[in-house]
């Protein structure tokens, strides 16, 4: 019998972010620019605000980048809501998929980064780039780090083709 299911030729990279200010918007734009670098082919990049992302978005993607502000030493409530929503529907289905993370704060991002890592360990996602932690005003080096983050995860996702 001939398998008539359409061949999947493109992978999907899902960027789930809480972007609450011009500074955090700048970081998101840099991540997206890196992920959409024209030299990286075979990857569709979807950017979805954390309050709108669904289990279907997660299940239908091949890799992830999460972005959040640090709030009270934790990830933003919006990203926490995202993980609360998708965790059990996606558990066991996403193991081994690559992910990256950026965090922006004004004084200490360590707790926020750790809070995301705890959940990604539970989901068995594979951290595939160094976590980008940015404190205070955004400079060119921060934009570059975010660009690299986007490009690294996109290349990793494409490499699984």
Ligand X SMILES: Cc1cc2nc3c(=O)[nH]c(=O)nc-3n(C[C@H](O)[C@H](O)[C@H](O)COP(=O)(O)O)c2cc1C
Binding site for ligand X (CB under 6 A): 20-21, 23-24, 69-73, 104-109
Cα-based distances in Å from 103 to 3, 26, 54, 55, 149: 44, 12, 21, 22, 12
CB of 158 to ligand X, least distance (A): 30
Of the pair 24, 128, the CB lying nearest ligand X is at 24
CB of 10 to ligand X, least distance (A): 32
Of the pair 122, 136, the CB lying nearest ligand X is at 136
Place of tokens 């960027």: 15
Number of separate helices (H) and strands (E) present in the chain:
5, 7
Of the pair 31, 94, the CB lying nearest ligand X is at 31
CB under 8 Å to 62, separation ≥6 — which residues? 11, 12, 13, 97, 157, 160
CB of 66 to ligand X, least distance (A): 14
């Amino acid at each position: 019998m001939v398998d008539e299911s359409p061949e999947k030729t493109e992978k999907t990279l899902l960027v789930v972010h809480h972007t609450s200010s011009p500074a955090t918007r700048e970081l998101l734009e840099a991540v997206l620019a890196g992920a959409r670098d024209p030299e990286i082919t075979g990857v569709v990049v979807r950017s979805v605000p954390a309050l709108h992302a669904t289990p279907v978005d997660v299940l239908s993607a091949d890799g992830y980048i999460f972005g959040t502000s640090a709030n009270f030493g934790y990830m933003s409530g919006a990203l926490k809501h995202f993980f609360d929503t998708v965790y059990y529907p996606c558990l066991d289905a996403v193991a081994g998929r690559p992910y990256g993370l950026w965090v922006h704060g004004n004084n200490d991002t360590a707790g926020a980064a750790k809070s995301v890592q705890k959940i990604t360990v539970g989901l068995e996602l594979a951290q595939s780039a160094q976590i980008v932690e940015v404190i205070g005003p955004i400079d060119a080096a921060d934009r570059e780090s975010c660009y690299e983050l986007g490009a690294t995860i996109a290349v990793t996702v494409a490499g699984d083709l």
